[in-house]
Amino acid sequence: MSDLISLYNTNAVDALRRELALDPHLVHRLRTVFWKKFAGSEAALEELPLHAREVFAERVQFHPLELDVRRDSAEDGATKLVFRTAADQRIESVLLRAGTGRTALCISSQVGCAANCDFCATGKMGFFANLNAGEMLDQVVQANEQIRGEDRTVRNIVLMGMGEPFHNEENVYEVLDTLTAGRGFNHPASRILISTVGIPEAMLRCGRRYPSVNLALSLHSVRQEVRERIIPLAKKHPVDELRQAIVELNAIQPATVMIEYLMLAGVNDSLEDAAELAGYLESLRVHVNLIPYNPIEGAPQLESSPREVRDAFADHLKAAGLTTTIRYSMGADIEAACGQLVQQLERKRKAQTAR
Ligand code: SAH
């Protein structure tokens, strides 16, 4: 199997094309059917003359990932897709169908994560591997193939699944290049969002290279000591450096920076916290997204802020002039929060092999 050529390995595909004396235009058409129409590999292969079709079918790997589990929410429009990598590791993507007809897809950038945030199921797994560009892009392709029959396509792509995108920076940039290229997926940069634990240098590199790609910062507290308690990496990247990064991003990016703020009872949800947050964000071009905490097994000490506390916090920010939304949580019944379903499946797998 390992001598298969990945469709994402441009040089190898091009070498095969030359070997078959194929017009480059035909391979471009194959990619269009596969990457822009999401019509699947069989339809894509029909773009090639018969002899080349057979060779491509045998030697080119279209899907670096294998779909393992699809789970549809019974309550709302969320679908969770669990994939297996070639190294037999599991990652997940979440499709979110909004009532407006728009569809968003949350993809993973790593197997596990080294950031080890207190509240995050993926962090509890530890870090296993970086996903390569093909593995990230295949999540987009396979999700689109899943919803093709519903007459939907993925409109917004968010790198907010398992992993820290800026710990896998070069591969993420390769993904952005292929997604936005006219000869790639032709997906608008403004409909891509990268969520980060907060690595100022990487945020700026990304902002300079892809000014139209949206950035989200998982801030969760502007009190340095509180942030360090829930996000170990905060020690390396103090809140004042993060603020300076937002100032610089605001100067180069057309869009606002999203501030993600997880609401944890008694940790970061007081009105004083809201006042400090408002002070910190003053004069920045940002919008605040308050996130209800989805309880995870590995963090019994953490609890979600009650709704009235969340609403009061939001009201305080709005009164201070900040655009503030509360994230509508989807897919609670399918373990849709970052890393949750993979963890549950891994536990089952271990329990079965132990038996
Ligand atoms: N590493 C990146 C992207 C993955 S996490 C980052 O830190 O942003 C994506 C978002 O989900 C982050 O804002 C993260 O703080 C949030 N998140 C993690 N665990 C959560 C949980 N249990 N409930 C709600 N949101 C969670």
Which CATH number does the domain housing residue 105 bear? 3.20.20.70
Stretch 94-108: mean pLDDT: 93
Confidence of residue 1 (pLDDT cuts 50, 70, 90): very low
Confidence of residue 327 (pLDDT cuts 50, 70, 90): confident
Compute the 3-state secondary structure of the chain and give helix, strand, coil in percent, each to the nearest 5: 45, 20, 35
In total, how many domains does the chain have?
A: 2
Reply yes or no on whether the pLDDT at 331 is more than 80: no
Q: For 3-15, how does the pLDDT look when each residue is reduced to its tens digit (9 = 90+)? A: 899 999 999 999 9
238 and 100 in one domain? yes
- Report the pLDDT value the prediction gives residue 118, as an integer from 0 to 100: 96
Whole-number mean pLDDT of the chain?
94
- Report the pLDDT value the prediction gives residue 336, as an integer from 0 to 100: 61
| Smallest CA separation from ligand 1 atom 18, residue | 120
Q: How many CA atoms lie within 13 A of 134 on its CB side?
A: 15
Confidence of residue 74 (pLDDT cuts 50, 70, 90): confident
294 and 162 in one domain? yes
129 and 23 in one domain? no
Stretch 26-45: mean pLDDT: 96
| Smallest CA separation from ligand 1 atom 19, residue | 120
88 and 32 in one domain? no
pTM comes to 0.94
145 and 196 in one domain? yes
Q: At 290, list the tokens.
A: 């308050």
298 and 280 in one domain? yes
- Domain limit, last residue, from 61, 87, 107: 61
Reply yes or no on whether the pLDDT at 245 is more than 90: yes
| Smallest CA separation from ligand 1 atom 17, residue | 120
120 part of the active site: no
Q: At 274, list the tokens.
A: 């809201």
- Report the pLDDT value the prediction gives residue 275, as an integer from 0 to 100: 98
Stretch 310-339: mean pLDDT: 84
Stretch 7-27: mean pLDDT: 97
Reply yes or no on whether the pLDDT at 2 is more than 60: no
Stretch 27-44: mean pLDDT: 96
- Report the pLDDT value the prediction gives residue 99, as an integer from 0 to 100: 84
**Least confident window among 149-153, 190-194, 234-238:** 149-153
Q: How far apart are CA 220 and CA 226, in angstroms?
A: 9
118 and 53 in one domain? no
- Report the pLDDT value the prediction gives residue 350, as an integer from 0 to 100: 64
Which of 260, 267, 259 minimizes the C-alpha distance to 309?
267
Hunting for tokens 């999203």 — which residue is that? 258
- Domain limit, last residue, from 31, 61, 91: 61
pLDDT > 90: percent of the chain: 88
204 and 97 in one domain? yes
Confidence of residue 280 (pLDDT cuts 50, 70, 90): very high
Stretch 124-145: mean pLDDT: 97
- Report the pLDDT value the prediction gives residue 29, as an integer from 0 to 100: 96
- Given 106, 113, 117, 338, the catalytic residue: 338
Q: 76 or 71, which is more confident?
A: 71
Domain residue limits at 43: 5-61
Hunting for tokens 């999700």 — which residue is that? 143
Stretch 118-129: mean pLDDT: 95
129 and 178 in one domain? yes
Look at residue 68 and give its three-state secondary structure: strand
- Domain limit, last residue, from 61, 78, 107: 61
- Report the pLDDT value the prediction gives residue 340, as an integer from 0 to 100: 63
106 part of the active site: no
Confidence of residue 76 (pLDDT cuts 50, 70, 90): confident
111 and 57 in one domain? no
Reply yes or no on whether the pLDDT at 333 is more than 90: no
Which of 170, 118, 148, 138 minimizes the C-alpha distance to 62?
138
Q: Where are the alpha helices (DSSP H) in 92-213?
A: 121-125, 133-147, 169-180, 200-209
**Span from the CA of 40 to the centroid of ligand 1 (angstroms):** 32
Strand segments (E) across the chain? 5-6, 60-61, 66-72, 78-84, 90-97, 103-107, 110-112, 127-130, 156-159, 192-196, 214-218, 257-263, 286-292, 323-326
Q: Which residues line ligand 1 (CB under 6 A)?
A: 115, 119-120, 160, 164, 195-197, 218, 260, 262, 291, 293-294, 296, 337-338
Hunting for tokens 């979440």 — which residue is that? 94
77 and 55 in one domain? no
Look at residue 161 and give its three-state secondary structure: coil
Stretch 52-65: mean pLDDT: 97
Q: How far apart are CA 95 and CA 86, in angstroms?
A: 22
- Report the pLDDT value the prediction gives residue 345, as an integer from 0 to 100: 65
142 and 18 in one domain? no
